Structure 1
Amino acid sequence: MRKFLPDIRTITRLALLLALTLAIQAFRLPTVVTGPLVNFMLILTTILTGTIGGVFVGFITPWIALLAGILAAPLAPAVPFIMAGNAVYCLIFGLLKKTKTGMWLAVLPASVVKFCVIGGSASYLLELPAPLTQVLLFPQLINALIGGAAAAAVGFYLARILKTASVQ
């Protein structure tokens, strides 16, 4: 049972990475900058703290963005789907990063499934105006690919420097 409990380093890293992710959102930069950076932080958190850490940050960030007014109020119905998209993004990446395909290729299916969850909900489940639906479609895929690829590169070396057991 003890092996399932995170150690103090992991908890500290998770808190720091969550704070950095929220700070990135708080800058209120254009979506073309913020989107890849948040996805970068989701994958980096998954690499450095484990899949559960990435999923945790992925659950928190959409709610904070909504509560802080960073995410437009008309997108509030999409928050649970954004959370689900973030969760599968981190989950799939976390599962595939340890396979022979490695971190680089793990980003692709993780990004595509995230896009399908968020884009599918925006297209078929939510009744949003067309401009808001467009925000939840292909930009999500591009942001996930760019942020994930950058995080895979940085995370690989950072994890080695930190001697993290998460990356093998």
Structure 2
Amino acid sequence: MNTKFITRTAILLAITLIFQFLKMPQLITGSLVNAMLLIAAGTVGMWSGIIIGLLTPVIAFLVGIMGFPLMIPFIMVGNGLYVILFSTQKNKVIGMIVGAVVKFIWLALSVKYIMQLFNVKVPLKIVQAFTTPQLITALIGGTLGIIVIALLENYFKKAKEQ
């Protein structure tokens, strides 16, 4: 980790947190957060996306945005899987789709079944938030992220040529 990595990751984390603080509907906030995870991974590197994916649920809880702390480790794993699967695929669209599906399956299983193994009663509102909407926001955010990455790559390529 060098200064450039830390600085860029910090800036992208700050932007991601701003999106969370706006407290928009899940469809918008979730999509923007997922986009930022892939933008970080695609422009700074996989570890940047993973770090942001690990920090955002913790910070969301600490500032009162997320009210069900037992989901934090599951969200962290889901975000990590999303970023890793995106980052390790040569075809970024396929990586994003596979990552979105795996994140969705992981979170849906976590909220519906894994929590039950520990006798945790998950409120219906939480179950609903961590099932199908997770797939939708990961796909929308992933699509947006891929577009932004392409635009940034094009911009940086043109800037180098000048």
TM-score under structure 1 normalisation? Answer: 0.86
1:118 counterpart = 2:118: no
**Which aligned runs of 4 or more in structure 1 are off by greater than 6 angstroms?**
none
Write out aligned runs for 1:107-146 (5 A).
107-126=96-115, 127-146=121-140
Partner residue of 1:155 out of 131, 149, 158: 149
Q: Is 1:92 the counterpart of 2:85 in the alignment?
A: yes
SS of residue matched to 1:124: helix
| TM-superposition CA deviations, 1:53-107 (whole Å, max 9, x none) | 10000000000101111112xx2111100000000000110101xx2xx212211
- Structure 1 distance, partners of 2:46, 2:39, is 10
Amino acid at match of 1:44: I
Shift of 1:7: 3.3
Distance in 2, Cα, partners of 1:43 & 1:143: 13
How many residues are paired up? 152
Q: What is the distance in 1 between the residues matched to 2:4 and 2:149? A: 16
Q: Per-residue CA shift, 1:140-167, capped at 9, x if unaligned?
A: 000000000110111122034235xxxx
Separation in structure 2 between the aligned mates of residue 62 and residue 82 of structure 1, nearest angstrom:
7
Structure 2 unaligned residues grouped into runs of 5+: 116-120, 158-162
TM-score, normalised to structure 2's length?
A: 0.89
Q: Judging changes above 3 Å, is the alpha-carbon distance between structure 1 residues 12 and 159 closer, same or farther for their aligned structure 2 residues? A: farther
Question: What is the CA RMSD across the aligned residues, in angstroms?
Answer: 1.2
Task: Name the residue aligned to 2:118.
Answer: none
Task: State the secondary structure of the residue aligned to 2:88.
Answer: helix
Give the match's secondary structure for 1:70.
coil
Structure 2 counterpart of 1:91, one-letter code: I
**Contact 1:46 1:52 (8 Å CA) reproduced:** yes
Distance 2:123 2:21 in 1: 25
Decide whether the 8 Å contact of 1:47 with 1:159 is kept in 2. no
Give 1:108 deviation, angstroms.
0.5
